[in-house]
Structure 1
Amino acid sequence: MSTCQLRMAQHFHIGHLSAHKPKETSSPSTILQLATRLLPAPGHAGLKELEGGRNPKEPVAPLLQDSVVSEEKWEANHPPPDGLPKQKKVIVVGAGISGLRAASVLRAHGIQVVVLEARPDRIGGRIYTSRKSGHTPRDIGAAWMHETANNKLVRLIGQLNIEHYYDDGTPLYLTKDGRLGSQFKAKKVADEFADYCTWYYEENPDAADKPALDFIKEWLENHPLVTEDERLWAPQAAREVEAWIGTSLEQASSKHLAYFATERNLYMKGGYDRIIDWAATSLRDSDIIRLGHKVTKIDWTDNENEDCKVHVTTPDGKSSTFVADAVVCTLPLGVLKNNLVELNPPMPQNLSSGLDKLGYGALGKIFVEFESVFWPKDNDQFIYYPEPNEEVDENSILSYMTVTSNNWIMGGSKELSVQIVEPLTQRIEAMTSEAEVYAFFEPLFKLLRTEPYKKLPPVVSLETTHWTQDPFAGFGTYTADKTGDDPEVWFSAMDSNKGSKLQFAGEHCARTGNGCVHGAFATGETAAVNLLASFGIPHNGGDLFSRRPSRKTTPPRH
Structure 2
Amino acid sequence: MAESKAKTSRPSRRIDISEEDLERGVSWNVGFPPDALSEEEEILLPNSVLKRQEAYVSVRNHVLARWRCNVNRYMNKEDAASKIAQKHRDLVHHAWHILDTLGFINFGINMPVNASSSTRDPKETVIVIGAGLAGCAAANQLQRWGYKVVLLEGRNRPGGRVHTARLEGGDCSGVVDLGGSIITGIDGNPLAVLARQLDVPMHGITSRCPLYLEGGKEPEPDVDEMALKQHDALLEECTGYRDSMGDSAQYLSLGTAFGVLRNKRQRLEDPQKDEQLQRMLHWHLANAEFANAACLKALSLSHWDQDDAWEMMGEHVFLPGGNLRLVEGLIAKTPIFYNAVVESVDYSGGSNGPVVVNSTSGTFIADAVVVTVPLGVLKHNVIKFNPTLPEEKRLAIRRLGFGILNKVALLFPHVFWDDTCDTFGFINKIEDPTERGMFYLFYQYSGLGGGAVLAALVAGEAAIKFEDVPADVAVARVMSLLRDIHEPKGITVPDPLQAVCTRWGRDPLSYGSYSSVAVGSTGSEDYDAMAATVSNRLFFAGEATIKKWPATMHGAFLSGLREAAKVAQAFRTTHKTRKTALTKEDPGATLSPSSSEVSSSDTEDSDDSHGGRRQRHKLIGKRSRGAGLRNGGSNGGSNGGSNGGSPSQLSSDEGAVGEEEDLIHRGSGGKADWKDRADPEAGARLAKLVVDLDKLFKSEEPDLEFGIFSVFYVEPNSSASVALRKDESGPSPSDSEQEMEEEAVDLKDLALVKVDLASMRNGPPSCAMHHILSRSQVAELRDVRGGDEARLTLFSSPELGVKILGRQQLDPRLSEVLKLIANTRGLDFNSSTE
TM-score, length-normalised on structure 2? 0.50
Which position in structure 2 is the counterpart of 1:21? Answer: none
Q: 387, 392, 402: which one pairs with 1:345? A: 387
Distance 1:108 1:377 in 2: 42
Q: Percent identity between the aligned chains?
A: 24
Q: 441, 452, 456: which one pairs with 1:418? A: 456
Assess if the C-alpha contact under 8 Å between 1:237 and 1:385 holds in 2: no
Which position in structure 1 is the counterpart of 2:237? Answer: 196
Distance 1:307 1:107 in 2: 19
Assess if the C-alpha contact under 8 Å between 1:40 and 1:108 holds in 2: yes
Distance 2:285 2:413 in 1: 34
Which position in structure 2 is the counterpart of 1:281? Answer: 332
Code of the aligned partner of 2:239 = T
Q: Does 1:174 align with 2:209?
A: no
Displacement of 1:517 in angstroms is: 1.2
Distance 2:390 2:280 in 1: 46
Q: 345, 366, 377: which one pairs with 2:408? A: 366
Alignment of 1:150-165 (within 5 A): 150-165=188-203
Distance 1:256 1:455 in 2: 47
Q: Does 1:442 align with 2:479?
A: yes
Q: 41, 48, 52: which one pairs with 2:113? A: 41
Assess if the C-alpha contact under 8 Å between 1:301 and 1:502 holds in 2: no
Which position in structure 1 is the counterpart of 2:149? Answer: 113
Code of the aligned partner of 2:366 = A
Q: Does 1:307 align with 2:361?
A: no
Which position in structure 2 is the counterpart of 1:14? Answer: none
Tell me the secondary structure at the aligned position of residue 515 of structure 2. coil
Distance 1:476 1:265 in 2: 24
Alignment of 1:18-417 (within 5 A): 39-41=111-113, 87-119=123-155, 121-133=156-168, 134-176=172-214, 178-184=217-223, 185-202=226-243, 204-208=245-249, 209-223=251-265, 229=274, 230=277, 233-258=280-305, 263-283=314-334, 288-301=335-348, 303-314=350-361, 320-388=362-430, 390-391=431-432, 400=438, 402-408=440-446, 413-417=451-455
Distance 2:400 2:548 in 1: 15
Displacement of 1:352 in angstroms is: 0.8
Distance 2:532 2:451 in 1: 49
Q: Does 1:531 align with 2:582?
A: no
Distance 1:269 1:378 in 2: 16
Distance 2:437 2:549 in 1: 31
Code of the aligned partner of 1:195 = E
Distance 1:460 1:200 in 2: 50
Tell me the secondary structure at the aligned position of residue 137 of structure 1. strand
Q: Which runs of 5+ in 1 are unaligned?
A: 1-28, 43-83, 315-319, 540-552
Displacement of 1:429 in angstroms is: 4.6
Distance 1:175 1:212 in 2: 27
Kindly tell me: are residues 154 and 302 of structure 1, through their superposed partners in 2, closer, same or farther at Cα, counting changes over 3 Å?
farther
Displacement of 1:360 in angstroms is: 0.6
Displacement of 1:367 in angstroms is: 1.4
Assess if the C-alpha contact under 8 Å between 1:104 and 1:280 holds in 2: yes
Code of the aligned partner of 1:524 = G
Displacement of 1:273 in angstroms is: 1.1
Distance 1:432 1:36 in 2: 41
Answer with 1 or 2: which has the greater Rg.
2
The one-character-per-residue Cα deviations of 1:143-192 (angstroms, maximum 9, x if unpaired) are 11112223122123333232432223211122336311211211221122
Assess if the C-alpha contact under 8 Å between 2:531 and 2:546 holds in 1: no
Q: Does 1:471 align with 2:514?
A: no
Which position in structure 1 is the counterpart of 2:537? Answer: 501
Assess if the C-alpha contact under 8 Å between 1:176 and 1:398 holds in 2: no
Displacement of 1:335 in angstroms is: 0.4
Distance 1:415 1:289 in 2: 31
Assess if the C-alpha contact under 8 Å between 1:31 and 1:160 holds in 2: no
Kindly tell me: are residues 371 and 115 of structure 1, through their superposed partners in 2, closer, same or farther at Cα, counting changes over 3 Å?
closer
Which position in structure 2 is the counterpart of 1:70? Answer: none
Assess if the C-alpha contact under 8 Å between 1:499 and 1:531 holds in 2: no
Assess if the C-alpha contact under 8 Å between 1:164 and 1:270 holds in 2: no
Code of the aligned partner of 2:144 = A
Assess if the C-alpha contact under 8 Å between 2:347 and 2:354 holds in 1: yes
Assess if the C-alpha contact under 8 Å between 1:102 and 1:525 holds in 2: yes
Distance 1:232 1:403 in 2: 14
Displacement of 1:495 in angstroms is: 6.2
Q: Tell me how large the CA RMSD over aligned residues is.
A: 3.4
Distance 1:510 1:291 in 2: 26
Q: How many residues align?
A: 457
Higher relative contact order (CA 8 A, sep 6+): 1
Assess if the C-alpha contact under 8 Å between 1:358 and 1:480 holds in 2: yes
Kindly tell me: are residues 511 and 86 of structure 1, through their superposed partners in 2, closer, same or farther at Cα, counting changes over 3 Å?
closer
Distance 1:86 1:150 in 2: 31
Assess if the C-alpha contact under 8 Å between 2:108 and 2:330 holds in 1: no
Kindly tell me: are residues 219 and 342 of structure 1, through their superposed partners in 2, closer, same or farther at Cα, counting changes over 3 Å?
same
Distance 1:292 1:485 in 2: 33
Tell me the secondary structure at the aligned position of residue 419 of structure 1. strand
Which position in structure 2 is the counterpart of 1:57? Answer: none
Kindly tell me: are residues 338 and 451 of structure 1, through their superposed partners in 2, closer, same or farther at Cα, counting changes over 3 Å?
same
Kindly tell me: are residues 480 and 520 of structure 1, through their superposed partners in 2, closer, same or farther at Cα, counting changes over 3 Å?
same
Tell me the secondary structure at the aligned position of residue 236 of structure 2. helix
Q: Which runs of 5+ in 2 are unaligned?
A: 1-69, 75-105, 115-119, 576-783, 786-834
Q: Does 1:488 align with 2:539?
A: no
Kindly tell me: are residues 461 and 202 of structure 1, through their superposed partners in 2, closer, same or farther at Cα, counting changes over 3 Å?
same
Code of the aligned partner of 1:249 = L
Distance 2:498 2:109 in 1: 42
Assess if the C-alpha contact under 8 Å between 1:357 and 1:484 holds in 2: yes
Displacement of 1:216 in angstroms is: 1.5
* More displaced 10-residue stretch of structure 1: 514-523 or 476-485: 476-485
Distance 1:203 1:532 in 2: 45
Distance 2:491 2:150 in 1: 57
TM-score, length-normalised on structure 1? 0.73
Kindly tell me: are residues 256 and 279 of structure 1, through their superposed partners in 2, closer, same or farther at Cα, counting changes over 3 Å?
same
Kindly tell me: are residues 293 and 238 of structure 1, through their superposed partners in 2, closer, same or farther at Cα, counting changes over 3 Å?
closer
